[in-house]
Amino acid sequence: MTESLAKFNAAHAALDYVKDGMVLGLGTGSTAAHFVRQLGERVRQGLRVKGVPTSEATRNLAEQVGVPLLEISQVSAIDVCIDGADEVDPAFRLIKGGGGALLREKIVAAASKQMVVIADETKWVETLGAFPLPVEVTRFGFALTQARVVEALRATGCAGHEVELRVSGKSNEPVITDGGNYILDAHAKRIVNAEALAAALQGIAGVVEHGLFIGLAQTVILGKDKGAEVKRL
Ligand code: 5RP
């Protein structure tokens, strides 16, 4: 499988969910970027939609390709949110946040009538957790929060318990999210009870948001070298 082609094909298939006049949630990451670029082409051909971006990177790209934007404060509901994922399981539970945009992504997905996930087929897994789970935390007291995230992994039966502060490969400095927070990457390895882990993380002071998206996606489009497979719950 050629990853980039598969991502392009997933993004292309998601255009079927876009109708004239819609407000769209625009995801973050390389697959979502394929979608935004293809949406820009449709806008240039006359499609009238407005997008709510989930990150500053997506905002910049959407502006470059001519997709009109709205602030989240200007909308009461979003018709469809189209976003990538780091892992998807058969119950359409997701790990998101590899690109660090999980907070805005979750706010936009939760405000959407429908969430369509676009991903290359390697993102489909039987059990979540091989991809490190991103957890956005306040900078204040992050080491204490990190210790409590380790406890949450242990308490909910995860196979791995290591949690590391995400640092930039270039500067070796902590990555700062669009919201001004840090990201902890939780190496759970195997998440046996995603709902319990989500609840445990939500209960930790200092956790702003976590990358488990549960009960949000109804459609998953898995891109392949040729075309894409559409799965629905
Ligand atoms: C960003 C995300 C992305 O959707 C996820 O990391 C997938 O990225 P890509 O499409 O580049 O594989 O959650 O926060």
Residue range of the domain that includes 42: 3-124+215-225
Are residue 112 and residue 151 in the same domain, yes or no? no
Proportion of the chain above pLDDT 70, given as a percent: 100
What's the distance, Cα to Cα, between the start and end of the chain in Å? Answer: 25
Q: What is the pLDDT of residues 174-190, one digit of tens each?
A: 999 999 999 999 999 99
Place 2 in a pLDDT band, splitting at 50, 70 and 90: confident
Please check whether residues 175 and 67 belong to one and the same domain. no
Whole-number Å distance between alpha carbons of 231 and 14: 12
Q: Mean of the per-residue pLDDT values for the chain?
A: 97
Q: What total of structural domains would you count in the chain? A: 2
105 is catalytic: yes
Nearest-CA residue for ligand 1 atom 5 is 85
| Alpha carbons 197 and 123: distance in angstroms, whole number | 20
pLDDT tens track for 18-56: 999 999 999 999 999 999 999 999 999 999 999 999 999
Interatomic CA distance for residues 208 and 41, integer angstroms? 36
Residue 190 DSSP class: S
Of 4, 28, 104, 125, the residue with max ligand 1 atoms within 8 A of its CB, to mutate for a pocket test, comes to 28
Whether residues 49 and 150 fall in one domain: no
Q: What is the CATH number of the domain that holds 17?
A: 3.40.50.1360
Residues 87 and 104 in one domain: yes
Instruction: Find the CATH number of the domain harbouring 152.
Output: 3.30.70.260
Instruction: Answer yes or no: is 53 within a domain.
Output: yes
Q: Are residues 9 and 29 in the same domain?
A: yes
Predicted structure pTM score: 0.96
Q: Region 147-173: what's the mean pLDDT?
A: 97
Rounded to whole angstroms, the Cα distance separating 95 from 91 reads: 12
Q: Which amino acid is at 121?
A: E
